[in-house]
Amino acid sequence: MFRKIHFFLLSVIFLGCTPQKEPVSIDLNELTITGIHDAYRGGQYTSEQLVAAYLERIEQENDELNALTVINPNAIQIAKTLDKEFEESGVLRPLHGIPMIVKDNFNTKGMATTAGALALKDFIPEEDAFMVDQLVKAGAIILAKSNMAEWAFSPMHSESSTFGTTRNPYNLDHVPAGSSGGTAAAIANNIGVIGLGTDTGNSIRGPSSHNSLVGFRSTLGLTSRSGIVPLYLRNDVAGPMMRTVEDATRVLEVIAGYDPKDPLTKYSEGKIPDNYQQFLQNDGLNGARIGILRELSEKDPNPEIKTLFEQAVQDLQSLGAEVVDPVAIPDFAEVRQNQWCGMFREDLEGYLATYVKNDTIRTLEDVVRIGTKSEFARTRIEYFLTASGRSSNPEIECLDPYTDERRIAFREAIEKRMDELRLDAIVYPSWNHPPALIDSFQVQYRGDNSQIIAPHTGQPAFTVPMGFTSGNLPAGLQFLGRMYAEPTLIQLTYAYEQGTQHRVPPSGN
């Protein structure tokens, strides 16, 4: 009831107290950045009218999904300002007037940023996270914040103490995965255009796969994480969750680059092309060499996922790729071990000191004292009260992917094999199993391949829609590349997407 009243009051504020452009009928189904900009230029509708249409759709759709947490009360006014700018200049910024859904762990000026936790339920940042600021400067409009797994703990489901549980729009009985499930559910259901998520081990690619979306986990160091509530900063990446490779590429083009508040981005200098859109090539798979990592794809796969994956391999070939099947990584079982480091306490307390600046919320013990409504989150918080560093070989320091000896060894094993076989990418299913039922997500959590390589090696990994299993449940195909090989992955994933057209919105859209 609160949520319905909340959205109704906001609608009154947006639509009743401020003079509006005459309403127009806008088909929000599968809108793209290019299509919206064409409509702006052609006078079909304005940014103000588009934002108003999305706000109406939120009021109609969000109660069932529980994907969104708070709406930006300034969205209409920002849209009006952008419309006036375009009217006067005739120039559209790269993301001019594009509505954006932001995960609830990104700092957003003047809007609550809770990370799904009671400890932050009243925290309102003084400024946007660096990535959000870049997108806003490019013309994107924050439409709303999205629900998430509390503190980004869960790759399985998206349950928070602040806003409850998010459902999968393709089948409401199933999870959207975690922790960026709110963003995934909203973008999949056409409640926004740009979606932002974070990925510590799975949380961009997993929800994207479960919601028939494109998810880019870029090279660690290519984009900033400052102003984002961390899980493990040594693994965290933030980035786009979109309906198309082209739109995700347009967002990546804006967010890639150096941030003085995130030292890891120093490694990206000199490694970013003038633009990424040049790699959107329909024939991008022609002559490419793609390796099939059977060590992941054959690990207890669901039969339907296995069928989809085998069809994907055939599709890659029919689209011009040379498939190397299988690809064996020497010592893979050994080098992948002992990669995780429990750094939540250190990273969270650093964030609290830098951004929250509240004497009553300074430590993990304060978070425990304030409490949680989520039993899953409670077990994780209690774990981190004592857990730190590696579970074994604690003498090996936990560092970033450029200096950590275990991470370097893992990446070198993979990239050396890619070099030997002249591979452009390695592919495997993003999940070996369909989305779990919400009521039994822990029992049915199986086949999460996203956790295994990219978070540790620092390599980029993109997921794209691969089709559907029974129950109308989406599946995703993941492409792993070398460090800073985003141009190659864009080329490959775009060609696969265009050649297969697996993306379908939820029924009723």
Q: Give pLDDT tens digits for 72-102.
A: 999 999 999 999 999 999 999 999 999 999 9
CA atoms within 13 A on the CB side of 339: 25
302, 254: one domain: no
Rounded to the nearest angstrom, the gap between the alpha carbon of residue 452 and the centroid of all alpha carbons in its chain is 17
184, 330: one domain: no
118, 246: one domain: yes
pLDDT (mean) for 128-132: 99
23, 163: one domain: yes
* pLDDT digits 0-9 by tens, 142-163: 999 999 999 999 999 999 999 9
Residue 469 DSSP label: E
The domain spanning residue 477 has which CATH number?
A: 3.90.1300.10
* pLDDT digits 0-9 by tens, 448-494: 999 999 999 999 999 999 999 999 999 999 999 999 999 999 999 99
Residues recognised as catalytic: 103, 179, 203
187, 327: one domain: no
Tell me whether residue 332 is in a domain: yes
Quote the pLDDT of residue 509.
Answer: 64
What's the CA gap between 53 and 81, in Å, rounded?
17
- Listed residue (171, 170, 192, 173) closest to 30, CA to CA: 192
Residue 8 confidence (pLDDT) above 50 = no
Tell me whether residue 508 is in a domain: no
* pLDDT digits 0-9 by tens, 180-192: 999 999 999 999 9
Residue 18 confidence (pLDDT) above 50 = no
Domain count within the chain = 2
What's the CA gap between 155 and 14, in Å, rounded?
35
Sign, CA dihedral 479-483-489-490, equals positive
Tell me whether residue 377 is in a domain: no
Q: What tokens appear for 326 in the block?
A: 């299988």
480, 415: one domain: yes
Residue 203 confidence (pLDDT) above 90 = yes
Q: How confident is the model at residue 22 (pLDDT cuts 50, 70, 90)?
A: low
Tell me whether residue 349 is in a domain: no
Q: Domain range holding 110? A: 2-270
231, 123: one domain: yes
86, 180: one domain: yes
Single residue among 244, 270, 296 that ends a domain in this structure: 270
Residue 260 confidence (pLDDT) above 70 = yes
Q: How confident is the model at residue 342 (pLDDT cuts 50, 70, 90)?
A: confident
96, 29: one domain: yes
For a pLDDT cut of 90, what percent of the chain falls above it?
93
Tell me whether residue 27 is in a domain: yes
Single residue among 245, 270, 295 that ends a domain in this structure: 270
Q: How confident is the model at residue 21 (pLDDT cuts 50, 70, 90)?
A: low
39, 102: one domain: yes
- Listed residue (37, 52, 48, 68) closest to 187, CA to CA: 68
Residue 131 confidence (pLDDT) above 50 = yes
Single residue among 251, 270, 289 that ends a domain in this structure: 270
